[in-house]
């Protein structure tokens, strides 16, 4: 389930029970119950709503089951992998492998050459057959 301000790229794989929140409870306010900030509950005008952030999930991202993406994360980079159960609290670089609570980067996917080739050739903007040919060419190019 994703907040309405979520933009999801091409060829993204999202496991079950993944959640993305674009807003947080207002910790600085005297009260945190939604009655005092959510206009849909009828007690306050629309201007009282908490700020909501967008999040861009890049192409070819994998997000494992039961992960949670919090408002501090506004971008998950192209080719990133989010491990199952991770709590993502900040932006994720391209091709990063993130795990844990809070999520931390434990490695980077692919070689620098492969990352550059993927960025330049952009297979994620192509149909599956064309993308497949591009992916094959990158690995053949290295042999």
Point out the residues that are catalytic: 25
**Residue 63: other Cβ atoms inside 10 A:** 25
Contact predicate 121/138, CB 8 Å: yes
């Amino acid at each position: 389930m994703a907040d309405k301000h979520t933009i999801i790229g091409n060829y993204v794989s999202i496991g079950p029970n993944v959640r993305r929140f674009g807003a947080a409870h207002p910790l600085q306010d005297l009260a945190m119950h939604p009655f005092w900030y959510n206009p849909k509950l009828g007690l306050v005008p629309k201007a009282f709503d908490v700020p909501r952030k967008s999040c861009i999930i890049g192409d070819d991202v994998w997000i494992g089951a039961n992960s949670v993406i919090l408002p501090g994360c506004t971008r998950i980079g192209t080719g990133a992998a989010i491990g199952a159960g991770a709590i993502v609290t900040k932006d994720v670089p391209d091709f990063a492998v993130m795990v844990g609570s809070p999520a931390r980067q434990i490695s980077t996917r692919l070689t620098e050459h492969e990352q550059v080739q993927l960025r330049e050739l952009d297979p994620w903007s192509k149909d599956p057959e064309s993308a497949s040919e591009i992916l094959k060419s990158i690995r053949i190019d290295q042999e």
